[in-house]
Chains A and B, each alone.
Chain A
Amino acid sequence: GQNIDQPTEMTATEGAIVQINCTYQTSGFNGLFWYQQHAGEAPTFLSYNVLDGLEEKGRFSSFLSRSKGYSYLLLKELQMKDSASYLCVSDNYGQNFVFGPGTRLSVLP
């Protein structure tokens, strides 16, 4: 089966660091996306990991461990505009993308 788990909600303070975890069990796994979705808007691409390890892109970093079926998205120097849902998405060979339920992050002043 295809299953992706991530926390439903998280809260953090402006300027802080937050880590959003994702575990997946998907067949034919190729790589893992992270998307950001603000309320009422379409998802937008943040990152894509194929190899194990950490990939850094500005304030956002994404980590993948294929052997553990685990990924996380790290957001540094949080800003109010980072309040959004973060979607963990599995990319699978010959199949469609599988989206996790999303983690709604609230950044407080």
Chain B
Amino acid sequence: KAGVTQTPRYLIKTRGQQVTLSCSPISGHRSVSWYQQTPGQGLQFLFEYFSETQRNKGNFPGRFSGRQFSNSRSEMNVSTLELGDSALYLCASTSLGGQGDEQYFGPGTRLTVT
């Protein structure tokens, strides 16, 4: 069974631009969560999608948005990029996203904003 894949793996953007990151979950998994990881903050939850609906949302500004498609693939978008958005963006999938479900992480997309 293929693991979680994320594209692109590395990205360099300039301030003010927007970016779209993609995540393909493990086949059969319906829940996809997105996280931002920075050295000082650790993993911060962005949002979770289940069956094309946003089920949970973290404390990030509206510039961060996401969506999920019928095949469970998910995208996240960051508009009007700021220097502080430079981070590793990880997505994780679980079968149903229920209590105790192990999350399987993708390799991440490293975003650098200059």
Contact = CB atoms under 8 A, between A and B. Distances in A.
Given A97-B45, A99-B43, A31 B107 contact: no
Interface stretch (B64-72, B73-81, B96-104): B96-104
A91 B42 contact: no
A95 B56 contact: yes
B45 A50 contact: no
Contact of A30 (B45, B100, B104): B100
A97 B99 CA distance: 10
B26 interface: no
Contacts of A31: 99-100
B103 A97 contact: yes
Nearest to A87: B43
Contact of B107 (A42, A87, A102): A42
Contacts of A30: 99-100
A101 B38 CA distance: 10
A43 B105 contact: yes
Contacts of B104: 45
B42 A100 contact: yes
Interface of A: 30-31, 33, 41-45, 48, 50, 87, 91, 93, 95-102
25 contacts: A30-B100, A31-B99, A33-B102, A41-B107, A42-B105, A42-B107, A43-B43, A43-B90, A45-B102, A45-B104, A48-B102, A87-B42, A91-B100, A93-B99, A95-B56, A96-B45, A96-B48, A96-B56, A97-B33, A97-B45, A99-B35, A99-B43, A99-B45, A101-B42, A102-B43
